[in-house]
Amino acid sequence: MRGLASYRRFLTWSNFRVFSSSSAEHIDEDLLESIKQRIERNRRILKKHSASHFKAREISASIGNLRQSMASVQKKQKAAMEPAANSIVNIPNQVSIEILGNATGLLRACVVIRTPLKTYMFNCPENACRFMWQLRLRASNIVDIFVTAATWDNIAGISSILLAKESSAMTTRLHGAMNVKHFLECIRPFQDSDYGSCKYPSQVEERPYTMESYEDAGVKVSYIPLSPPLDMQKEKNGRRSDGRMKRNSEVDVAFLVELKPPPRRVDPLKLMEKKVPKGPLIGKLKMGETVTLPDGRTIEPGEILSDAQTGTELPIVLVAECDSEEHAKALLESTAIQAILSGEKHLDYFVHLSSDKVTSSESYKKLLSAIDAGNEVSKRKTRHLLVNETNPWIPSVESVYKHTKLLNHIAPRLFPNLHPLEWSGLVAQNDELSVDDGRFVRVAPLQRFWMRRPAYFQEEPIIMDLRDVEMNFSESAQKLIGDFQNEQSLVEPTCEYPIVTFLGTSSAVPSKYRNVTGYLIEASKQSAFLLDVGEGTYGQMRAIFGEEQCKNMLTNLHCVMITHAHQDHMNGLYTIIYRRKEAFEELGLPYKPLILVCNRNVMKPLKTYSICFENIESLIELVDISRHPITPPSSPNGASASKRPRLPSPHLPPARNILAQISHDMTKYGLTELKAVQVHHTRMANGYVLGVAGKRLVFSGDTKPCDLLCDEGKNADLLVHEATFEDGHEADALKKRHSTMGQAVDVGQKMSARHVILTHFSARYPKVPVLPEYLDEKRVGVAMDMLRVRFDHLHLLHKLIPIYREIFVEELFELTVRKEQRMFKEQELEKKRALVTH
């Protein structure tokens, strides 16, 4: 038995080795690293010479050649990976359907079919990239994304997935909906590079439904177009005859996924019987080759392969999002599923992404009945998995809920409990939290359904532990928390509004604990504004306020102000527009266009989306704050116009009143001042000065320290300033046009701001940023996600910093170690430079 167990361990290891070793033969990571180092070295030398110098031209040419060499190596890498991933030895022996998002809470509908080497994702909503780690998924393994309908909910997270990939990643294929690649190219220039790449490292291939199918070593996927009759597409005032907004691409796509038959597995008992030694000969036999053993015997593959398959084998799944009864009719009449309806083939799973309104319609019931009739012939059952907004609302990510619960325990008036309120328990991959109503299984987040599972399969289960447990703090932390809570309880309620809610405090990309930028400003119970709307902003609002209160908040949302066009500040805008429109409809209120204050770079992706997918420009009222540039006359040295610097128009000052551009009287909503101030980040970046409910608020947006902002925001009641980098990173901050923590505090002092809150921390600090002592001395607050603060509580924020130092001691120690290591490396470099100089 010991020998048999040893063989099994070796075979499990060799399954991975077949793929990784074959790829490694073509990949020279050392060469790539060497080229990168040479490029960086040449760039440093280039800075020492003027552009016209001969040495500069020579080095520029060298850098170009090195980049071509690097691109060639990466191309060879990808070319080597594709056939390896699709080779017959990599037909997966375990395949499962897993629910990343069940369409409630923080994540809309997102389903994956998972194998050990590849993950097939069906729809990619906002926050998919941020939360995929909960299922132990990596962006590099998501090569195929299938889009059932060209709606924002289905494509919003694709750009984040692409940015998270490495440069050597395989080409990402987008299946089904058309024009997605075009939209991604439109938003690509507006990625921030505070942390990671601002370009998509992975190439993108679009595979429209007209290509009919996709096939690799593991699966065959048939595309089933769902096109409604022409009379359904007649529009009136931008709407279809059935009342829904008209989409420009009405051809939605269903996907029929069929697993390839698994290869026969190696039988360890037969290996021992034939005395086949461990090593490469077993790999060759698995690949179907006949081998000769050292003793001269010839072994055929069939002699050591198992005779029968054991375990679970449910190989066919249909994924469909029917937007109307007509789509259900189109699916029923599709030739692709006729073999299933006749009973010739059996449908094991049907993943329904359709709304309850559609699934309860007569046409949909006919589709389900036809599938049932086929099941009677095949004598098997289909499991119907429903993934829509009526599913049970269950927390879908452990880190966000645990972190907020910890902060709520410390300061319940500043950090509200997240919805669903009072939820406590374990979230696992079993079916304990799903709801089976006899026809549909209303799935829960993380739930897994096996399509193929070997009999001996074992792995560490994925479990989210959100049970209420007693929090153990040190004695010093307990005393600090007790003192803080006593002081907070004594605060007299003198100023209920405005209220500022921090929906995201991370820079460029989200972390496990922090979302990207978003601020909600409430002027009263009937009036609210958003300033910046990073990806996932709506999900954060829904978690804080709950479903019903969030609807009311959206109908009271009058204006959105965007500081600049980077995606971490605007990628959540489209969801806010859609959910706000739905809230008006569900509450039976007449729709009021959302006032959007932004520059033209924000409008460019929105216009592209409206052209490619669905016109949402009619839902907003644009207030363009672009400072239109002019190009100066040609310079004496004859530089081309495209290279000439642009000058600001003399007709538009760098700080100006925006209220005058808005056609509505915003004072009735509590907004008495709105000033856009040009700051130092992108060419069209702005900070904002707001007068809300009698208080003066300043939001810096992304910027280096800016004297103009100090002047315009003089004597502000609250300054919310970005602090992307810790002190000591001034060079990085200058290069990327951001501020360090110390620089942000200095801006607050120059402005004479009564209160300062720091935010927009680099994702290098996933849970908490560095907390220097001067924050206490200067009474500066540090924002955390879900912080909801009234003005009569602002003076308490800096008193949380000593508590943070106690409860996040491990995280802060790690940051200190990193800082010491960085300083040591810099000192060593300085010594080397000094030796070279002498």
Per-position DSSP letters for 461-493, written without gaps between them: PP-EE---------HHHHHHHHHHHHHHHT---
Rounded Cα gap, residues 425 and 464, in angstroms: 8
pLDDT above 80 for 235:
no
- Do residues 464 and 134 touch, judged by C-beta distance below 8 A? yes
- For residue 553, give the nearest of 376, 423, 419 by alpha carbon: 419
* 549, two tokens: 């209160």
Pairing between strand 204-208 and 213-215? unpaired
pLDDT above 70 for 532:
yes
pLDDT above 90 coverage of the chain, percent:
64
3-class secondary-structure state, position 487: helix
Instruction: Kindly report whether the peptide bond that precedes residue 420 is cis, defined as omega within 30 degrees of 0.
Output: yes
Rounded Cα gap, residues 239 and 256, in angstroms: 30
Taking residues 142-158, what's their average pLDDT? 95
pLDDT above 80 for 236:
no
* 472, two tokens: 């153990």
What confidence tier does 229 reach under pLDDT thresholds 50, 70, 90? very low
pLDDT above 80 for 249:
no
Residue 694: partners with Cβ closer than 8 Å, 6 or more residues away: 672
* 574, two tokens: 């489209």
Who has greater pLDDT, 377 or 459?
A: 377
Rounded Cα gap, residues 627 and 649, in angstroms: 7
Write down the mean pLDDT value for the chain.
Answer: 86
What confidence tier does 278 reach under pLDDT thresholds 50, 70, 90? confident
Rounded Cα gap, residues 541 and 563, in angstroms: 20
Q: In the prediction, which pLDDT does 182 show?
A: 87
* 668, two tokens: 């009735």
Q: In the prediction, which pLDDT does 306 show?
A: 78
CA distances for 649 relative to 168, 272, 631, 632, 654, angstroms: 44, 83, 9, 11, 9
Pairing between strand 110-114 and 119-122? antiparallel
- Do residues 318 and 347 touch, judged by C-beta distance below 8 A? yes
Taking residues 796-816, what's their average pLDDT? 96
Taking residues 728-746, what's their average pLDDT? 96
Rounded Cα gap, residues 332 and 337, in angstroms: 8
Instruction: Kindly report whether the peptide bond that precedes residue 208 is cis, defined as omega within 30 degrees of 0.
Output: no
Q: pLDDT, tens digit, for every residue of 812-821? A: 999 999 989 9
Supply the pTM of this predicted model: 0.85
Fold for 91-228+244-262+311-394+433-453, please state it.
Metallo-beta-lactamase; Chain A (3.60.15)
Q: pLDDT, tens digit, for every residue of 643-678? A: 445 545 445 689 999 999 999 999 999 999 999 999
Rounded Cα gap, residues 418 and 250, in angstroms: 37
* 824, two tokens: 């040591």
- Do residues 706 and 747 touch, judged by C-beta distance below 8 A? yes
Q: Which residue has the tokens 């608020």?
A: 697
Rounded Cα gap, residues 297 and 505, in angstroms: 67
* 787, two tokens: 């912080």
Amino acid (1-letter code) at residue 143: V
Query: Torsion angle, CA of 355/357/359/363, rounded to 10 degrees?
Result: -130
Taking residues 77-92, what's their average pLDDT? 60
Phi/psi at 415 (5° precision): -125, 95
* 291, two tokens: 């081998």
Q: In the prediction, which pLDDT does 256 show?
A: 98
Q: How does DSSP classify residue 740?
A: B
> Is residue 570 exposed (0-12), middle (13-18) or buried (19+ Cβ within 10 Å)?
buried
pLDDT above 90 for 155:
yes
Rounded Cα gap, residues 753 and 739, in angstroms: 17
CATH ID of 495-626+654-807, from 3.40.1190.20, 3.60.15.10, 3.40.50.300, 3.40.50.12780? 3.60.15.10
Q: In the prediction, which pLDDT does 833 show?
A: 79
* 656, two tokens: 């100006």
What are 531's strand-pairing partners?
519, 561
Pairing between strand 655-657 and 506-507? unpaired
What angle do the packed helices 475-489 and 398-410 form, to 10 degrees?
A: 70
CA distances for 435 relative to 384, 593, 617, angstroms: 12, 38, 39
> Is residue 438 exposed (0-12), middle (13-18) or buried (19+ Cβ within 10 Å)?
exposed
Q: pLDDT, tens digit, for every residue of 389-417? A: 999 999 989 999 999 999 999 999 999 99
Taking residues 544-560, what's their average pLDDT? 97
- For residue 183, give the nearest of 124, 141, 121 by alpha carbon: 124
> Is residue 161 exposed (0-12), middle (13-18) or buried (19+ Cβ within 10 Å)?
buried
Q: pLDDT, tens digit, for every residue of 566-612? A: 999 999 999 999 999 999 999 999 999 999 999 999 999 999 999 99
Amino acid (1-letter code) at residue 415: F
Q: In the prediction, which pLDDT does 493 show?
A: 87
Q: In Å, how far from its chain's centre is CA 405?
A: 23
- Do residues 218 and 261 touch, judged by C-beta distance below 8 A? no
pLDDT above 50 for 14:
no
Q: Is the dihedral of CA 738, 531, 720, 552 positive or negative?
A: negative
- Do residues 291 and 298 touch, judged by C-beta distance below 8 A? yes
Rounded Cα gap, residues 307 and 312, in angstroms: 16
Choose the weakest-confidence range: 25-29, 404-408, 536-540: 25-29
CB atoms within 10 A of CB 151: 22
Q: Which residue has the tokens 């000969």?
A: 281
Highest mean pLDDT: which range of 1-5, 50-54, 382-386, 631-635? 382-386
Rounded Cα gap, residues 365 and 640, in angstroms: 66
